[in-house]
Amino acid sequence: MKHPLDDTDIELRMLIEAVYLKYNYDFRDYTGASQKRRVLVALREMDCATISELQAKVLHQPEAFTRLLQFLTIPVTEMFRDPEYHAALRSQVVPHLSTYASLKFWVAGCSTGEEVYSLAILLHEEGLLERSIIYATDINPESLDSARRGVFQLDRMRLYTENYQKAGGKRAFSDYYTAAYGGALFERFLVENVTFADHSLATDSVFSETHFISCRNVMIYFNRRLQNRVLGLFHESLCHRGFLALGSKESIDFSTHANRFESIARRERIFRKAAE
């Protein structure tokens, strides 16, 4: 027997519905536990006693919605996160990609861009960046602005350098950024072929054929229904035998699309569109 909803759960559902109806941001199929925690944090930060109060504020003040959006999305990421994944990209995916004259990548749910810059550095070192177009999409305009700027916290560079080296980096990591004003400004050539764009995995459709999609630690916040939708989008976007990369603890085993992808690096969570 399931435990009945309490007031907080009811209010939460109504807030998410209001956000959808008013602003067309669809969080209805996000997983409940993490979403609840993040809304409760927003409540404190936005000086609201109840979620109902927050709902009223968000409905009547668009700027309050902009603030809430920062809590509803999860901008926690790092450069070369999971070095062994990036090493596997170099050894197992790059040889296939190198056979194409031009390449399209999609970093879905790119957040503040760490994953995009990591991919661009890797492609640069493998000699593929110049023939690549990277679409980097997210629903959060503030995150996209950060990603476009390409300035990351200087105190993160030690971790990122370590990650980069473990991932098989071929140069000094500091070659790629300039330290200024307490931030690390990344080289502009890295994002010359990157298109940052607003795109919702929950409501938008496929916009291009791609050879490689990275969507790491994004779908963990989605329930199975939304995961199925997104994997369907990816399958549609990927070219014949295209590649899909997920986060290190993600699984497609529970999806209706499980059989449409095959695993090529099990631990690193790299998949390939199955031949049909």
Cβ distance to another protein smaller for residue 132 or 227: 227
Give the footprint of another protein on residues 211-240 (CB under 8 A): 217, 220-221, 223-224, 227
d(CA 71, CA 93): 34
Residue 32 touches another protein, criterion: CB under 8 A: yes
* Pairing status of strand 132-138 against strand 194-198: parallel
Closest by CA to 236, choosing from 257, 251, 267, 250, is 257
Residue 208 touches another protein, criterion: CB under 8 A: no
Residue 118 touches another protein, criterion: CB under 8 A: no
Residue 61 touches another protein, criterion: CB under 8 A: no
Query: What DSSP line would sit under 235-264, residue for residue?
Result: HHHEEEEEEEEE-TT--STTSTTGGGEEEE
* Pairing status of strand 183-186 against strand 177-180: antiparallel
Residue 195 touches another protein, criterion: CB under 8 A: no
From 72-80, 142-150, 192-200, 257-265, span contacting another protein (CB under 8 A): 72-80
Residue 250 touches another protein, criterion: CB under 8 A: yes
Output the smallest distance, CB 231 to another protein, in A: 12
Residue 76 touches another protein, criterion: CB under 8 A: yes
d(CA 66, CA 50): 18
Length of the chain measured in residues: 276
* 3-class DSSP state of 189: helix
Output the smallest distance, CB 88 to another protein, in A: 15
Output the smallest distance, CB 195 to another protein, in A: 25
Give the footprint of another protein on residues 37-56 (CB under 8 A): 37-38
What is Dmax (Cα atoms) for the chain? Answer: 58
Output the smallest distance, CB 113 to another protein, in A: 16
Residues 137-167 as b or e (16 or more Cβ within 10 Å = b): bbbbeebbebbeebbbeeeebeebbebbeeb
From 28-36, 92-100, 117-125, 188-196, span contacting another protein (CB under 8 A): 28-36
Cβ distance to another protein smaller for residue 34 or 98: 34
Closest by CA to 78, choosing from 227, 216, 187, is 216
From 62-70, 180-188, 203-211, 246-254, span contacting another protein (CB under 8 A): 246-254
What tokens appear for 258 in the block?
A: 């499980």
Residue 153 touches another protein, criterion: CB under 8 A: no
Residue 9 touches another protein, criterion: CB under 8 A: yes
Contacting residues toward another protein, per CB under 8 A: 1-4, 9, 31-34, 36-38, 74, 76-77, 217, 220-221, 223-224, 227, 248-251, 253-254
